[in-house]
Amino acid sequence: MNKAVFFDRDGVLNRDIGYLYRIEDFHWIKGAIESIKKFNERNYYTFVVTNQSGVARGYYTEQDIKILHNWINTQLTKYGAHIDEFFYCPHYEYGIIKRYSHFCECRKPNPKMIDDACKKYYLNKKMSLLIGDRDSDIICAKNAGIKGYKFVGNDLFDFINNIIFK
């Protein structure tokens, strides 16, 4: 069985500016690339799990998200790092785009994005973890049955070395 790290995106890998979708607005959190690379080298699958209700709210499209995520992986490749798969939930009960505006089991803190990854990649939950910056991320990890770490500070690499790889 395999192990994985699930990164929340906004506020963990990049600065959370709210409803980010433009590449020019993407700014890496200090230490994020090194952190992803370290998990790559330690044979973790690396995933992003991110709520993207901006789609249901009509702020941007799924295509915008895919372009941004492809760009992120292109940047990571330059450093010998990668994200294995991006999972996102475009849904939101109170959105305005009808086909996205409903309850979704994927929307954190619901655990379906993690559960789906666990099945698809044969993950050992005991060896897998999530890093998020909100309580809802930590609740999501708990709901999925994996360990959750709430990122604090301003350097993700310091954080993982002090808390996870200590």
Partner from Mg ion, Zn ion, none binding residue 91, C-beta < 5-8 Å depending on class:
Zn ion
* Burial of 81 from C-beta contacts in 10 A (0-12 / 13-18 / 19+): buried
Q: Which is nearer to Zn ion, 31 or 90 (CB)?
A: 90
> 118-136 b/e with 16+ CB inside 10 Å = b?
beebebebeebbbbbbbee
Identity of the residue, 18 or 98, whose beta carbon is nearer to Mg ion in the bound complex: 18
Q: What DSSP string runs through 49-68?
A: EEE-TTTTTTSS-HHHHHHH
| 85 part of the interface to Mg ion, by CB under 5 A | no
* 10 in active site: yes
Of these partners, Zn ion, Mg ion, none, which one is at the site of residue 10 (CB under 5 to 8 Å by kind)? Mg ion
Residue 89 interacting entry, from Zn ion, Mg ion, none, C-beta within 5 to 8 Å by type? Zn ion
Q: How far is the CB of 1 from Mg ion (least distance, A)?
A: 28
* Least Cβ distance, residue 100 to Zn ion (angstroms): 8
Q: For the CB of residue 71, give the shortest distance to Zn ion in the complex, in Å.
A: 22
Pairing relationship of beta strands 45-51 and 85-89 according to DSSP bridges: parallel
Residues that bind Zn ion (CB under 5 A): 89, 91, 104, 106
Residue nearest Mg ion by beta-carbon distance: 11
Give the nearer residue to Zn ion in terms of CB position, either 7 or 149: 7
Q: Is 129 helix (H, G, I), strand (E, B) or coil?
A: strand
11 binds, among Zn ion, Mg ion, none (CB under 5 to 8 A by kind): Mg ion
Contact by Cβ (8 Å): 59, 21: yes
Burial of 43 per CB tally in 10 Å (0-12, 13-18, 19+): exposed
Query: Which residues would be at the binding site for Mg ion (CB under 5 A)?
Result: 8, 10-11, 133
